[in-house]
Structure 1
Amino acid sequence: MTNRLHELLLSAATNRSADLALIDFDDRRFSWSDLKEAADAAAACLKAQNLRPGDRVVLVFENCAEVIAFFFATSMIDATAVVVNARLSVPELERIFAHSDPSAVVFSTGSSKAAKAHAEHFGAEDVSGAFGAAAIMSRSNSVSEPVLDDGKEQVALLLYTSGTTGAPKAAMLTHANLIAGAIASAEVRGVRADDMTYLALPLSHIFGLVTLLSVAHAQSAMRMEAKFSVERLYDALKEDVTLLPAVPQMHAHLFNYARAHNMPKYDTGKLRFVSSGGAPLDPAWKREAEAFYGLPLQNGYGLTEGAAGVCATKNEIGNPDISVGVPMGECVFRLDMEAPGATPDQGIGEILLGGPQVMKGYFRDPEQTAAALTEDGFFRTGDLGRFDDEGRLHIAGRTKELIIRSGFNVYPVEIEATLTEHPDVVVAGVVGRAVEGNEEVLAFVTAATGSGIGEDDLKAWVHDKLAPYKRPSRIIVADALPAAPTGKILKAKLIETFAEELAVVG
């Protein structure tokens, strides 16, 4: 029985040593034996930094073989990985460093210009080995977490679900959580040893990371991209890709690219499974996708605190169902009909998730952990849903204000805090608005009298402080925002109130 993440790698390296495991974004090829050698070298680098069991190691990267090596290496030395997208800004990284209290930070300098720039900024020292090239910054006075006798219950990963100033929130996912998520994912996709998974999803997101682990569990192979390229996806589909998990925007780019090349539908290659996640599924768009691929498009529902996918469909092509399907693996659900926004007469309540994929809690934050987890270990998702007569879950809305943009979670409070750091901004409100196959970020602010600041000024202000996917597409500067008598911004009225301003191209 597999108890720790690196055991997935060791098993694959033993059973399928010479078989292809990875085609990296730069077309380097790695067998399972090669990946184990790379992870061993990465573990040796970490040990040289005098890391102790229970320490945290922040990995700053874009998708590459190097980060796979260091991710498994943290498990090898009983440390905890903190995975971070290199596209984050310096202030965002500094907040994560302060909160996660790592003993070391690894930057994938050989594969990411953004990571290399961060490494230079923080004065990290270059290292190299079978994993490729990286840089490591050591930090002193880090406090280790206790190491448990039961390895599978040890925290393997911290994954940030919010980057708010003052109150960052990092989900603690154990080895058992992630292995359960990997097995459930592999089962839903029917992953076989001869499969080739296309992985353009970032490994800094739970969707991408558990996809990697599902490939390791099945001991199959993957094509991995540092950044999504529709041209490379188009070519890969004609060659060897059999499994395509993606967010709607990736599919949409492919459809447009194929049409431009007079390929109205996919009729070449070996593709046998296509899924969409990370955003609501539009019925018309689903029909278009199935017409293009000639395959059923499976939908799903997942979240960081639940180790990725917790529900998925298993539909035949043409089925009009746009639910998120039935529970995956050993996940169990119940609905809280007394939660804010619940409508019991319609069968809609807050979705509570239970089972082996539920996180241990939020790192060093007992208050937020207590608010998120029930006494019997169910996670309060903040999402509203209902079950139909066939046991399929339908998402009805959210009790929280999460925006999902291009598959990434965007939290309005972080953007609001960044805007109000501007000396001339008085208050700010941020909401999401549905656009074709996505959500956009809209910001509304009031400015100090006589300041004269405008939308362009504030876009320039947030540019270096927020990752690209978090930056508002519009920032409306107004004399006043709709507010309750208490002064609380009425976010539900923002788009309606400023409809004319939003209609003007920013």
Structure 2
Amino acid sequence: MSRFAPPDFNHLAAPVAWWAAHAPDQIALVDGAGTWTYAQLNQAIIMVRNTLLSRGSQPGDRVAVLGDNGAAMVALMLGASLAGAWVVPLNPRLSDREIDEIARHATPTCLLFANPGTGRARQHAERCKAQPLTIEGLGPIALAETTHHAPPEPNADVAALIYTSGTTGRPKGVMLTHRNLMISARASGAIRAISPADIVYSVLPISHILGFTGVMLGTLTYGGTIMLAPRFDPPGALRAVLHDHVTMIIGAPSMFALLAEYAALQGMSVLPPHHLRLIASAGAPLDPAVKAAVEACFGMVLNNGYGITECAPTIAQTRIDQPRRDCSVGMLLPGLDARLVGEAGGIGALHLRGPTVMAGYYRDEAATAAVLDADGWFDTGDLAKFENDHLFIVGRSKEQIIRYGFKIYPAEIEAVLNAYPGVRQSAVIGRGDGAHQDIIAFVEPAAGITLHLPDLIDYTANRLADYKRPAEIRLAAALPMGATGKVQKASLIA
């Protein structure tokens, strides 16, 4: 656990203000444009707030902020929050349709662009007719007026409106309060023992909940330094590990697997000495083959965790002083209660209650009522089991496959496929309805590898019960990935 106990911050921008007062010259952010101290970041946040207030922004307005990881993106989001707005973070990788759909639903007063002259952000800024906005020290910023503006919301507790990925349908706006987010940031940062001595490599998008809370808010709460990478790039990540004194990386399993694979291609099956003290997997299921390969490369334990947007997001983490050889996601965060509903064979639907559970889905009382009951119990949609207080996620309840009356969990089959030499990653889905679904597996070979499909079929047949064996295995040059490194199974089904 972290040795330093920060104050109980009650606002997203409060940690930066506190560190600016107590350690103003401590480095808060590093990006491609340079470094920002806590004092500089705090001043930028205040200037963003003042700019929005001067334009008539009111508490309860929604303010959308679009950009890749960078200092300006951090300042815009926290500055909008300091102005009393509900922050709506947007990733530039979203399509025009997705951004328009979110804007129609969230009805923001404006859309702010960080670094609008580069990449997808430029295309979105041009389409939205964004105009340059000058805020001293932030670099290029732009602002677009919106046509869907609605009055401010009365709930001053809500800090962020974060839209789910929408893999199971239309994206929903998750209302997260300052308390939800700061309790999650404080608890996860404590478990990782973050301190001002840490440099946390931030490759997960801070526009997504894990990067927003687990990386950005968690690091700022404990006075650490965030090294912001606009997107995952194996050569850049390896340089950061070997040359930039990075002490911590939190990423999806696929990111660690690709980094280990790239290092091996550079002749480093085992990394040379580095400053990393913690690597942690989150955002997608971790299987034993990936865990073993990454640990062999890094020479250290790959910790694991589990969370969802509706829980701000962290639900469980493995403890650094209790390393796990298996793929448990660890113990629940302090303050969370759990129950398994419809338990059979130790496996049940995971329901949670506690201070990090969302306030609800924005403008969707029916969807909120479907997952959050009157007693505060939230249905995660995941199937889980406990072993000695350690949580194991078996799979998504909606992804569960029923075949010949047996319940089958894709994660088990994916773990077998991923252990086959030359397989980079896999994804398993069910096809059909009722009690006789077919199992379809999609397999992505590692770089430069040609897989022999009959051998792979024999391999799975020897390691899975007959009813768990895929009816079809399809080779894919690349599986569709989301911004957080999770396979987008909805695209495979389509």
Q: Scaled by the length of structure 1, what TM-score is found?
A: 0.78
Deviation at 1:104, TM superposition (A): 0.7
For residue 144 of structure 1, report the CA deviation from its aligned partner.
3.1
Match of 1:22 among 15, 21, 29: 29
Q: CA deviation digits over 1:101-159, x for unaligned, max 9? A: 111111223464211111111111111222221211123563334445xx6xx111111
What's the RMSD between the two structures over aligned residues?
Answer: 2.8
Contact 1:109–1:119, Cα closer than 8 Å, also in 2: no
User: Whole-Å Cα distance in 1 between the matches of residues 292 and 173 of structure 2?
Assistant: 37
Q: 1:44 aligns with which of 36, 47, 50?
A: 50
Q: Which residue identity is paired with 2:19?
A: A
Q: Which whole-Å CA distance do the structure 2 matches of 1:298 and 1:105 have between them?
A: 37
- Residue 318 of structure 1 deviates from its aligned partner by 7.3
Matches within 5 A, 1:350-429: 350-388=349-387, 390-401=388-399
Equivalent residues in 2 for 1:311-350, closer than 5 Å: 311-314=316-319, 319-337=324-342, 342-343=343-344, 346-350=345-349
Amino acid at match of 2:304: N
Deviation at 1:220, TM superposition (A): 1.2
1:48–1:368 distance in 2 versus 1, CA, 3 Å? same
Q: Distance in 1 between matches of 2:436 and 2:64?
A: 35
Matching residue of 2:106: 100
Matched, 1:493 2:438: yes
Amino acid in the other structure paired with 1:66: A
Relative to structure 1, the CA distance from residue 491 to residue 227 in structure 2 (aligned partners, 3 Å threshold; closer, same or farther) is: farther
Change (3 A) 1:221 1:504: closer
Displacement after TM superposition at 1:322 (Å): 1.6
In 1, are the aligned partners of 2:247 and 2:278 still within 8 Å (CA)?
yes
| Cα distance change, pair 137–268 in 1 and its aligned pair in 2 (3 A) | same
C-alpha displacement of 1:173? 0.4
8 Å CA contact retained: 2:429, 2:439:
no
Corresponding residue of 1:115: 121
> How does 1:29-428 map onto structure 2 within 5 Å?
29-110=35-116, 112-129=118-135, 130-139=137-146, 142-148=149-155, 154-163=157-166, 167-210=170-213, 211-239=215-243, 240-314=245-319, 319-337=324-342, 342-343=343-344, 346-388=345-387, 390-401=388-399
Q: Given that residues 95 and 163 in structure 1 are in contact (C-alpha distance below 8 angstroms), is that contact kept between their aligned partners in structure 2?
A: no
Deviation, 1:40, is 2.0
Tell me by how many angstroms 1:438 deviates.
4.6
> Are the structure 2 counterparts of residues 301 and 505 from structure 1 closer, same or farther at C-alpha, using a change threshold of 3 Å?
closer
Distance across 1 between alignment mates of 2:166 and 2:323: 40
- Asked if the contact 1:106–1:137 (Cα under 8 Å) also holds between the matched residues in 2, the reply is yes
Question: How big is the shift at 1:376?
Answer: 1.2
For residues 398 and 270 of structure 2, the distance between their equivalents in structure 1, rounded to whole angstroms, comes to: 38
8 Å CA contact retained: 2:195, 2:222: yes
Specify the alignment match of 1:3 in structure 2.
10
Partner Cα distance (2:287, 2:169) in 1: 37
TM-score of the superposed pair, with normalisation by structure 2: 0.79
Letter matched to residue 230 of structure 1: P
Task: Output the CA distance in 2 between the equivalents of 1:88 and 1:298.
Answer: 29
Q: Structure 2 counterpart of 1:72, which letter?
A: L
2:15 partner letter: L
The CA deviation string for residues 184-228 of structure 1, in whole angstroms up to 9 with x for no partner, is 110111101111001000012111111100111001101110011
| 1:315 Cα offset (Å) | 5.8
Residues 163/22 of structure 1: CA separation in 2 closer, same or farther (3 Å cut): same
Instruction: Give the partner amino acid of 2:367.
Output: Q
**Counterpart residue identity of residue 41, structure 1:** M
Percent of pairs with identical residues? 33
Shift in Å, 1:170 = 0.8
Residue 42 of structure 1: how far off its partner (Å):
1.8
* Partner residue, 1:476: none
Mark the CA change 1:165 to 1:96 in structure 2 (over 3 Å): closer, same or farther: farther
Structure 2 residue runs of 5 or longer lacking an equivalent are 1-7, 401-409, 419-423, 442-468, 479-494
Question: Following TM superposition, by how much is the alpha carbon of 1:37 offset from its aligned partner in structure 2, in angstroms?
Answer: 2.0
1: CA distance, partners of 2:171 / 2:325: 40
- Within 5 Å, give how 1:462-477 maps onto structure 2: none
Q: Is the CA contact 1:297–1:317 (under 8 Å) kept in the aligned structure 2? A: no
SS in 2 for 1:73: helix
> Across the two proteins, how many residue pairs are aligned to each other?
424
CA distance in 2, matches of 1:164, 1:124: 29
Cα shift readout 1:218-254 (whole Å, capped 9, x = no counterpart): 0110111001111121111123111111111211122
Question: Partner of 1:502: helix, strand, or coil?
Answer: strand
- The one-letter code sitting in structure 2 at the alignment partner of 1:79 is A
CA distance in 2, matches of 1:120, 1:249: 33
Task: Give the distance between the partners of 2:154 and 2:84, measured in 1 at CA.
Answer: 8
